[in-house]
A and B are shown apart, each in its own frame.
Chain A
Amino acid sequence: GAGVSQSPSNKVTEKGKDVELRCDPISGHTALYWYRQSLGQGLEFLIYFQGNSAPDKSGLPSDRFSAERTGGSVSTLTIQRTQQEDSAVYLCASSLTGLAGGLNEQFFGPGTRLTVL
C-alpha cells in the first residue's frame, strides 16, 4: 500500500538492551513525526523532521532516545538502555509538508508495540 509503514510491528526486549524502530513515510511527504502512546500518558509527541532542517527534538523524554532520518525518507528511532517505562506503542506519521498553513494532515502508521521486560 501507499501508507506509512513501520517495523517491527511488535518488539519484546529485555531491560538495558537497545532497540531500533523503523518508519517508512508516504512517498513524497517531507515531514515525519514520531509519537508515543502509553497507558496513563496518552499520545505524546517525540520528534519532528522537516526536509533537511534540523529536527525538533523537544519531545524526546531523555538522552536515551534519538532519531535520524536518512535521505529525507526512512527514519529510525533508537532507544538505548531500555527501561520498563519505555513500554508503549511508538507511532510514526508523515505529512506532505510540515510548513505552517500547508497541507499538514498527518497520516499515521500502524505503530510498533514495544514491551520492555
Chain B
Amino acid sequence: AQKVTQAQTEISVVEKEDVTLDCVYETRDTTYYLFWYKQPPSGELVFLIRRNSFDEQNEISGRYSWNFQKSTSSFNFTITASQVVDSAVYFCALRVSGGYNKLIFGAGTRLAVHP
C-alpha cells in the first residue's frame, strides 16, 4: 500500500524564522516520485518540486530546500527566512511507477507566517 503522512497539521511562525515541513511516505515500489505542492488561499495547487527515487541529492531553490532520505522514507521541506507570502497549505505527494499515475497526497500542513 502507498501512503503519505504529514504529521504536522498546522505550524505558526514569525516572519524570518526557518521552518521545516515533514513528509513520510510508504511504498513497496522501488521506482517512485515525490512531490511538494503549495496551496495558497486562492486555492490553486502550485507545483514546487519533483524528486525521483533514484536521486537522493538534496535540492535548494532560493529560500526553499528539500531533504530526501530513503533510509527514513522522508522528504522534508524547509523554508528559510519565512515570509508572509509563504502562508499556505503545503502538500506532499507520492506517485508510483507502473502505469498508475495518480498522486497520493498527504493531509497537508497549514503554514501561517505572521509579521
What residues of chain A have their CB less than 8 Å away from a CB belonging to chain B?
31, 33, 35, 42-45, 48, 50, 56, 58-59, 89, 91, 93, 95, 98, 100-101, 104-111
Given A105-B47, A107-B47, A100-B105 contact (CB < 8 Å): no
Q: Compute how far the CA of A42 lies from the CA of B105 in the bound complex, rounded to whole angstroms.
A: 8
Nearest neighbor of A100 in chain B, beta-carbon distance: B97
Contacts of B98 in A (CB 8 A): 100
Given A100-B97, A104-B33, A111-B103 contact (CB < 8 Å): no
Tell me if B28 is interfacial: C-beta within 8 Å of chain A.
Answer: no
Tell me if B50 is interfacial: C-beta within 8 Å of chain A.
Answer: yes
Distance in angstroms from A10 CB to nearest chain B CB is: 11
Nearest neighbor of A89 in chain B, beta-carbon distance: B43
Q: Compute how far the CA of A99 lies from the CA of B107 in the bound complex, rounded to whole angstroms.
A: 26
Q: Compute how far the CA of A43 lies from the CA of B50 in the bound complex, rounded to whole angstroms.
A: 18
Nearest neighbor of B107 in chain A, beta-carbon distance: A42
Q: Compute how far the CA of A17 lies from the CA of B106 in the bound complex, rounded to whole angstroms.
A: 32
Interchain CB contact (< 8 A) of A42 among B45, B101, B108: B108
Given contact pairs A42-B106, A59-B102, a sample of 13 additional A-B residue pairs in the complex whose CB atoms are under 8 Å apart: A33-B103, A43-B103, A45-B103, A48-B100, A58-B100, A95-B101, A100-B101, A105-B35, A105-B47, A105-B50, A107-B47, A108-B44, A109-B44
Nearest neighbor of B42 in chain A, beta-carbon distance: A110
Distance in angstroms from B94 CB to nearest chain A CB is: 11
Contact A111 B47 (CB under 8 A): no
Q: Compute how far the CA of A104 lies from the CA of B91 in the bound complex, rounded to whole angstroms.
A: 17
Contact A106 B103 (CB under 8 A): yes
